């Protein structure tokens, strides 16, 4: 069972300007709560209570004000690490080396919202790598996985120029402790980043990568239109009702405390 989780919530999110000129993308609202609560809920539902959140330095105070002690009294811990300059998703494992230690880890992107519950896969994880794929209409925008006739992953390519598959790899990754050293050995891509696809391929070449396909909603709120669409889907499908009590009760308590403070200021 994986007991540690990383939420990657850095970046500048220029596609969401001017909304992100004053706050982090992951702190924007998706229906009735900040976006960051959805990936946090994915980890908590799977039994993870030790969480590292990687954030941009300029918004670290905002994250701390919201989440610093939110879950503490309910037995969960959130610690923070500032990522000064984003150098690719794989850098998260290097930044989180001390946090990960000798444990396996789940990493989820702070702007990914899933309808499906991946608790079973996270709790049953033992070694290697495990990632999750979703059929999409525009695979050229993503890291894409190709399967053989038996449904086994055989090839993974980042934003392929030529079509190889309609299955995109989403922003939830399960890895054993070897991921830190593997990330350290990666070479930057042409765009100067440590690509997550290269980590997938590290395990794929060892025949230790499992790829699960899921059918539920996968929302990547990276543009104004997709942010609006995500809020509508969350409302229509009632995803905001599927929060673990630990998270939901913490949000309710936090809101109540803020209302009391506001009343005292009147």
Judge whether 216 and 114 are in contact, CB under 8 Å: yes
Cα distances from 113 to residues 148, 211, 244, in angstroms, run: 28, 18, 15
pLDDT at residue 12 greater than cutoff 80: no
Per-residue pLDDT reduced to its tens digit, 193-231: 999 999 999 999 999 999 999 999 999 888 899 999 999
> Which residues constitute the domain of residue 151?
4-265
pLDDT number for residue 13 = 79
What is the tally of structural domains in the chain?
1
Can you read off the two tokens belonging to residue 91?
């850098």
Over residues 43-52, the mean pLDDT reads: 98
Average pLDDT across the chain, whole number: 95
pLDDT at residue 149 greater than cutoff 70: yes
31-34: which pairs have CB atoms within 8 A and are 24 or more residues apart?
31/231, 31/234, 31/235, 31/240, 32/240, 33/240, 33/251, 34/66
Query: Smallest Cα–Cα separation from 107: which of 196, 168, 34, 178?
Result: 196
Over residues 178-185, the mean pLDDT reads: 98
Judge whether 220 and 128 are in contact, CB under 8 Å: no
The CATH number linked to 20 is: 3.90.550.10
Over residues 170-180, the mean pLDDT reads: 98
pLDDT number for residue 266 = 67
For residue 111, give the 3-state DSSP assignment. Answer: coil
Over residues 243-263, the mean pLDDT reads: 91
């Amino acid at each position: 069972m994986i007991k540690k989780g990383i939420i990657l919530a850095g970046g500048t999110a220029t596609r969401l300007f001017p909304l992100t000129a004053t706050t982090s993308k992951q702190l924007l609202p998706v229906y009735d709560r900040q976006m960051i609560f959805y990936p946090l809920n994915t980890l908590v539902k799977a039994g993870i209570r030790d969480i590292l959140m990687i954030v941009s330095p300029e918004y670290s105070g905002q994250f701390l004000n919201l989440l610093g002690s939110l879950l503490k009294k309910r037995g969960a811990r959130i610690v923070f690490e500032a990522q000064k300059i984003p150098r690719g998703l794989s850098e998260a494992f290097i930044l989180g080396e001390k946090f990960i230690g000798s444990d396996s880890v789940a990493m989820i992107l702070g702007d990914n919202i899933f309808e499906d519950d991946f608790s079973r896969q996270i709790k049953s994880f033992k070694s290697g790598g495990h990632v999750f794929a979703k059929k999409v209409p525009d695979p050229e925008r993503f890291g894409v996985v190709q399967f053989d006739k038996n449904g086994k992953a055989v090839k993974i390519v980042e934003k392929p120029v030529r079509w190889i598959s309609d299955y995109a790899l989403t922003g939830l990754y399960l890895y054993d402790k070897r991921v830190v050293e593997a990330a350290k050995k990666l070479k930057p891509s042409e765009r100067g980043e440590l690509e997550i696809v290269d980590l997938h391929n590290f395990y794929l070449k060892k025949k230790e990568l499992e790829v699960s396909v899921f059918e539920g909603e996968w929302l990547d709120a990276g543009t104004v239109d997709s942010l609006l669409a995500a809020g509508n889907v969350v409302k229509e499908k009632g995803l905001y009702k599927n929060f673990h009590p630990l998270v939901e009760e913490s949000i309710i308590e936090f809101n109540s405390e803020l209302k009391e403070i506001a009343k005292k200021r009147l």
